[in-house]
């Protein structure tokens, strides 16, 4: 493929490609079947793989929680971390599912843009709704229901299978009965309703219904991540690590609080601004296609110059489509990854904080995790082993556990 071919004016389609006439409720600014007979929107299709990549990156980032990232012990298995030993209590299953759902969004987007059919559009939009709702409930649990404290010894055997994915946490009412939090039931109903409406409706009404239902969840997620950022800027932000103050010196504790504030600020600001930029590009590409697809570009006709020997170099002016929707796929993936890491960090930090406060109060469920049959003679992680955000290469955030250097 030469430079001249990339910038050459795209011909009007004389027919349709492999998948036939588009039946989706929206057709994006990229012209159909101009690159390949088999792919309706070439750039939009392959840029969708960005979501698959960042979903895999999110799952990989969970591996940074275990084994411990810092320890002086040569045998890392000799350290017993009660929460990492039972990751369902931290909601790791739910976080893993969020990243898996993002991958499904990517593959659904590949199917949608590759064929532009109504059924493939559902494969794109339904996973988007579920991904947003899973992410939102993770944020809500981190803010309001961080850890199931009052639990019997059978709890670890009960939080398995579907419960570990759909229920943020299990608690008992005044009568001692288990119940599903209203928040889980409400969002599950919202997801099912949205899924049905998206698949049953056609045309402009389908497009409007999806964006109203999905957009409402999206805005709620933005509000919650903003509340995390806002609270980190308040004078009382040090309460996030107050449970481990007696394990750290004054300077170390102050450094933890400062690091917490800076990491939350970076995660929030980068995530939101990249996400908002993606939305602006998405909206511009959708509503002003006639303008953005006719951007003038002037380039040297190198092919003609070389073919004509030592002839004069001519400049050619044409129009080009910057493929805004493809850029949306890349930027929204990066933005969501940062906000997802922020939700993970807040969730894990809340879990550690509530666990050690529960130990101090002698809560049955927390003490159960520290029993001898669980520790088995291993060194037990303490309050000084706290969740932090690490930046790989200064740009890729992951959540890890900062281990105390003393054994």
Which of 262, 273, 316, 320 is closest to 43 using CA atoms?
320
Contact 151, 365 (CB under 8 A): yes
Tokens of 349: 């930090």
Number of helical (H) and strand (E) elements in the chain, helices listed first: 15, 8
User: What angle (nearest 5°) sits at the alpha carbon of residue 271, between those of residues 265 and 276?
Assistant: 125
* DSSP result, 163-197: HHHH-S--EE-TTS-EE--HHHHHHHHHHHHHHHH
> Whole-angstrom Cα distance, residue 270 to residue 272?
6
Buried b (16+ CB within 10 A) or exposed e, 92-121: bbbbbbbbbbbbbbbbbbbbbbbbbbbebb
Contact 381, 79 (CB under 8 A): yes
Tokens of 390: 């690490």
60 annotated to bind ligand:
no
Contact 15, 271 (CB under 8 A): no
318: CB partners within 8 A, 6+ apart: 7, 8, 9, 296, 297, 299
User: Which burial class, exposed, middle or buried, applies to 42 when counting CB atoms under 10 A from its CB (0-12, 13-18, 19+)?
Assistant: buried
260 annotated to bind ligand:
no
314 annotated to bind ligand:
no
Give the sign of the dihedral formed by CA 269, CA 275, CA 281, CA 286.
Answer: negative
190 annotated to bind ligand:
no
Buried b (16+ CB within 10 A) or exposed e, 289-299: beebbeeeeee
Q: Which residues are annotated as a binding site for Ca(2+)?
A: 28, 30, 41
Q: Which residues are annotated as a binding site for Zn(2+)?
A: 113, 325, 329
Q: Which residues are annotated as a binding site?
A: 28, 30, 41, 113, 325, 329
């Amino acid at each position: 493929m030469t430079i001249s071919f990339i910038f050459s004016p795209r011909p009007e389609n004389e027919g349709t490609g492999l998948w036939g006439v588009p039946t989706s409720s929206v057709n994006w600014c990229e012209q159909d079947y101009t690159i390949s007979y088999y792919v309706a929107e070439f750039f939009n299709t392959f840029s969708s793989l960005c979501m698959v990549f960042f979903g895999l990156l999110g799952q990989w980032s969970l591996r940074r929680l275990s084994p411990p990232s810092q320890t002086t012990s040569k045998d890392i298995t000799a350290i017993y971390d009660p929460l990492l030993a039972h990751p369902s209590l931290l909601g790791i299953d739910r976080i893993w599912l969020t990243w898996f759902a993002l991958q499904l969004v990517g593959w659904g987007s590949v199917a949608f843009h590759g064929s532009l059919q109504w059924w493939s559009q559902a494969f794109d939009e339904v996973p988007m709704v579920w991904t947003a709702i899973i992410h939102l409930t993770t944020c809500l649990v981190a803010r309001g229901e961080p850890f199931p404290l009052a639990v019997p010894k059978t709890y670890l055997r009960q939080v398995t299978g579907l419960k570990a994915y759909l229920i943020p946490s299990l608690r008992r009412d005044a009568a001692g009965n288990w119940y599903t939090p209203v928040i889980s039931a409400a969002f599950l109903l919202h997801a099912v309703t949205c899924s049905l409406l998206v698949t049953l409706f056609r045309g402009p009404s389908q497009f409007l219904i999806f964006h109203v239902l999905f957009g409402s969840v999206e805005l709620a997620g933005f509000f919650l991540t903003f509340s995390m950022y806002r609270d980190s800027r308040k004078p009382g932000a040090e309460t996030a690590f107050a449970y481990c103050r007696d394990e750290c010196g004054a300077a170390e504790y102050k450094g933890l609080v400062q690091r917490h504030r800076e990491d939350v600020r970076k995660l929030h600001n980068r995530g939101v601004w990249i996400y908002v930029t993606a939305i602006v590009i998405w909206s511009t590409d959708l509503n002003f296609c006639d303008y953005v697809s006719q951007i003038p570009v002037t380039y040297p006709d190198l092919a003609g110059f070389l073919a004509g020997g030592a002839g004069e170099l001519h400049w050619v002016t044409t129009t080009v489509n910057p493929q805004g929707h493809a850029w949306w796929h890349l930027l929204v993936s990066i933005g969501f990854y940062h906000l997802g890491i922020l939700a993970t960090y807040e969730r894990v930090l809340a879990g550690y904080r509530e666990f050690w406060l529960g130990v101090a109060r002698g809560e049955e469920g927390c003490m159960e995790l520290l029993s001898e049959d669980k520790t088995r003679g291993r060194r037990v992680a303490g309050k000084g082993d706290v969740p932090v955000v690490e930046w790989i290469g200064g740009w890729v955030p992951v959540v890890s556990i900062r281990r105390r250097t003393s054994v």
